[in-house]
């Protein structure tokens, strides 16, 4: 059962993908540390060992407003398990943030790296929405927030494949937003500019694939 933040006030339940670093980590920490305790946060990531970064941001301990949850957006079984874990609870906000980057001249990008990028950035978001959307539709309420990029609005040099994945995400979400309105489900695209993430930090160290999960 969800615990009230203040007398007579229920917490807003938020599930965020890709919380091991970057935007996901920062958002999960900010909501979990909310002074009014208005949020119940499920911070998900592929490797729960990386959850230590989030706990460090929160002072080394896990508050009762936060639960770390294993979730790999490329694995349907992992998504199904996460959805089952939340069964019976009201998920108010779903944040699809997990993503990978890939930089470099197009001719240097391997086919496998490009497939991995699309599997996470596009199909990962699709799988995640598919896993949690039925409950939102049944309740006729909810909000979905998807991490896009300015690279989904315009092409960026040496980011051709990454931008292509974000352009695809923009089209998916703009189309989906229309059909979700009658169900009182609101979809928001967040088109970020440059953000310091582990991927950006690793640009200082050559990576043969040039990608890392956020």
Catalytic residue positions, numbered: 162
Closest CA to 140 of 181, 187, 112: 181
What is the rounded CA–CA span in Å between residue 113 and residue 124?
15
Q: To 5 degrees, how large is the angle CA 7–CA 13–CA 15?
A: 160
Any idea what DSSP says for residue 21?
S
Q: How far apart are CA 48 and CA 50, in angstroms?
A: 5
Residue written as tokens 């089209």?
A: 171
């Amino acid at each position: 059962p969800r615990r009230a933040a203040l007398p007579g006030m229920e917490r807003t339940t938020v599930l965020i993908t890709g919380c091991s670093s970057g935007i996901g980590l920062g958002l999960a920490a900010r909501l979990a540390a909310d002074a009014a305790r208005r949020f119940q946060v499920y911070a998900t990531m592929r490797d729960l060992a990386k959850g230590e970064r989030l706990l460090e941001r929160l002072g080394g301990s896990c508050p009762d407003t936060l639960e770390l949850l294993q979730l790999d957006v490329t694995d349907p079984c992992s998504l199904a398990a996460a959805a089952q874990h939340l069964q019976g609870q009201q998920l108010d906000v779903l944040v699809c943030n997990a993503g990978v980057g890939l930089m470099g001249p197009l001719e240097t990008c391997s086919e496998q790296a490009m497939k991995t990028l699309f599997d996470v950035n596009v199909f990962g978001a699709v799988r995640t929405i598919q896993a949690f959307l039925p409950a939102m539709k049944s309740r006729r309420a909810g909000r979905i927030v998807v991490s896009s990029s300015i690279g989904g609005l315009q092409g960026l040099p040496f980011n051709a494949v990454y931008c292509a994945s974000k352009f695809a995400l923009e089209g998916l979400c703009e189309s989906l937003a229309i059909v979700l309105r009658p169900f009182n489900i609101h979809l928001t695209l967040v088109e970020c500019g440059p953000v310091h993430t582990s991927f950006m930090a690793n640009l200082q160290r050559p990576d043969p694939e040039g990608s890392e999960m956020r």
